[in-house]
Amino acid sequence: MMKCFSLKGKPLTILACLLAAAVMFGAVNAPAVMASATQRQLPIYCVQRDQKMISISFDAAWGNEDTEQLIDILGKYDIKATFFVVGEWVDKYPESVKALHDAGHEVMNHSNTHAHMSQLSREEIIADVNACNDKIEAVTGVRPTLIRPPYGEYDDNVISAIRSIDMEPIQWDVDSLDWKDLSAADITKRVTGKVQAGSIVLFHNAAKHTPEALPGILDALLQEGYTFVPISQLILPGECGADYTLDHTGRQCPAS
């Protein structure tokens, strides 16, 4: 039976009794409350999907040697991808940005100058992101809704700033490592061995062996029953916490 205690002959208040009982019986879990309050903000790395549905993405920051070839390869398979482009890349190659859009691919934000966003203030992050959005929209007529922070770097300030302007930060759960100049065979083995339903795969538009590896990867995954959609069609719509949740790995899951 729960009892209240007295102090110097005076009864404790009801609140004090409840707090005392909570401590005695473990009703208050201070570490859990603290962990919830300090939980790190995460971008989306992948999505919980029952169907074998995945997205492939390409980062475009510097070179432009293979963009047209990638468009041709994806076109042969009728697959739409998501290209994250830097604003300065848009300045240099507006015709490639338009070609990507005209081919039905998503053109999304990869920052304006490929800066380390974690070193920027909230205001600087927002200004940088909007500058890139403006450039992409001027070429494609469509304003980006997704962004991949440069270098895959982020902190709570970066994620909070991005979401404050109604954009969603996107990472990946399958890294092709094509930027390391791996052979086409090694790239293919990495990607096909790690992909699962809801995966987001990272490639680069100017990596040495990506065009050579891509057809074999697409063939293998299509044979396994995967379908390919742009990232905006893979991720779950709505508001985090209300319509979906993110687990500790950045996997987006339905809230229910």
How many alpha carbons fall within 13 Å on the CB side of residue 47? 23
Q: What are phi and psi of 74, to 5 degrees?
A: -60, -35
What are the CA-CA distances from residue 147 to residues 104, 117, 124, 234 (Å)?
18, 12, 15, 15
pLDDT tens for each residue of 9-66? 444 344 444 444 444 444 434 433 333 445 789 999 999 999 999 999 999 999 998 9
What are the CA-CA distances from residue 161 to residues 119, 128, 153, 249 (Å)?
13, 11, 14, 20
pLDDT tens for each residue of 125-139? 999 999 999 999 999
Q: What global pTM score does this model have?
A: 0.85
204 tagged catalytic: yes
Query: What is the full DSSP assignment across 38-57?
Result: TPPP--B-EE--SS-EEEEE
């930060």: which residue's tokens? 169
Distance (Å, whole) CA 227 – CA 197 = 9
pLDDT tens for each residue of 73-127? 999 999 999 999 999 999 999 999 999 999 999 999 999 999 999 999 999 999 9
Helical H segments across the chain, by residue range: 14-25, 30-37, 67-76, 87-92, 94-102, 122-140, 156-164, 184-194, 210-223, 231-234
Instruction: Look at residue 38 in the predicted model and tell me its pLDDT.
Output: 52
Amino acid at site 194: K
For range 235-240, the mean pLDDT: 91
Six token digits for residue 137: 């929209």
59 tagged catalytic: yes
The single residue of 105, 204, 219, 247 carrying the catalytic annotation is 204
The single residue of 59, 66, 128, 173 carrying the catalytic annotation is 59
Kindly state the DSSP code that residue 241 receives in the 8-state scheme: T
